[in-house]
Amino acid sequence: MFSDELSQYDWDETTRAINAKTENDVLRALSREHLSVDDFMALISPAAAPYLESMARASQTITQKRFGKTISMYIPMYITNSCTNSCVYCGFNRHNKMERVALTPQQIKQECEAIRELGPFENLLLVTGENPKIAGVDYLEEALNVCRPYFNNLTIEVMPLKAEEYYRLTRSGLNGVVCFQETYNRANYKKYHPAGMKSNFEWRLNGYDRMGQAGVHKIGMGVLIGLEDWRTDVTMMARHLLYLRRHYWRTRYSVNFPRMRPSEGHFQPNVIMTDRELAQLTFAFRLFDNDVDISFSTRERPEFRNNIATLGATSMSAGSKTDPGGYRTYPRSLEQFAVSDERTPAQVEADIKAIGYEVVWKDWDKIFD
């Protein structure tokens, strides 16, 4: 399990190593075809800031070589905001006074129909709060069965499951799983997740191993930018990705770097990442792993997403509602977080085409299952 490997790395030592990187370290990393984690640390370090343009050009070249001039589209569907966790930064925190909703199969069907009216989406991300009594495996399996006739590619972002439970869901059409570790800082993890299932650091961290063991087709990873030093967190994630590729090499991988947005909990980020730093991180990850899918949600502003679409990103959401039933059943209920890009899917498509890129709505078919 990766928790054993992670214990070999000291958080503070990693932070010091990143900040000690020099211009020569950056130039050495930029000259290499295959990057080590040490090279990645150089490219996300403060020393690399003057080389942002060089990193952008290299990232663009590699991305176009591997993915062409394309952006894949997906859309999230929140099906319940019921949650047993007390995450201090999340709108779904169990202590927040709000109406808790769990969509019925009929309501999920209505949401599917509403999404199909928004655009030709084929990649659906099903999202829930973490409450096994309300949104356990039986509920998830039923939701997948309802959604399957409408979409070719189904991904879930839910509580970490057992390996056998992930495998069971793949039999019901599950293609991918997204899970945010939030932070790899074991010492401070409990501070942000004081109670509930999510407070178990090892269970969450080793969930990616269980996904791999179950043969999940695609695994999505991410840290929440705003909790701890972002450079150290993403270095730990890079090490994690390298580990997963060694052990579960048949699986595809994606990464996401969500910056904290306002939520019902009114948590103020401990760390602020600028647009330039987010771009630097994107370029560094593309140079580190040429084949990883780099995804950007509607948390980010339209201008930033338009620019990063040509420089390293490979997938984006559009028209997102972050509240259960937000597309038709319960419009304007409490959101998990506020979005920054409120363009319609058609507007996002038009803007991507205007910069010379092709929008890919479908990149997976049921027949491949």
Q: How many CB atoms lie within 10 A of CB 71?
A: 26
- Taken in order of first residue, the domains within the chain and their CATH numbers are 56-368 (3.20.20.70)
What's the whole-number mean pLDDT along residues 318-344? 79
Percentage of the chain modeled with pLDDT above 90: 87
Residue 261 has pLDDT above 80, yes or no: no
**What is the reported pLDDT for 262?**
57
Q: Phi/psi at 223 (nearest 5 deg)?
A: -120, 155
CA terminus-to-terminus distance, the chain:
27
Query: pTM for the full model?
Result: 0.94
Q: From residue 315, how far is each of 94, 238, 360 by CA, in Å?
A: 31, 19, 9
Q: What is the 3-state secondary structure (H, E, C) of 20-62?
A: CCCHHHHHHHHCCCCCCHHHHHHHHCHHHHHHHHHHHHHHHHH
Task: Report strand pairing: 252-256 vs 174-182.
Answer: unpaired
Q: Is the dihedral of CA 243, 244, 246, 252 positive or negative?
A: negative
- Secondary structure E strands in 91-135: 123-128
* Mean predicted lDDT score pLDDT of the chain: 94
Dump pLDDT digits (tens) for 43-57: 999 999 999 999 999
Residue 336 has pLDDT above 60, yes or no: no
Percentage of the chain modeled with pLDDT above 70: 95
Dump pLDDT digits (tens) for 208-259: 999 999 999 999 999 999 999 999 999 999 999 999 999 999 999 999 999 9
Between 333 and 189, the higher pLDDT residue? 189
Give dist(CA 336, CA 298) in Å, integer. Answer: 13
Give dist(CA 162, CA 142) in Å, integer. Answer: 18
125: left (phi over 0), alpha (psi -120 to 50) or beta: beta
**What is the reported pLDDT for 264?**
46
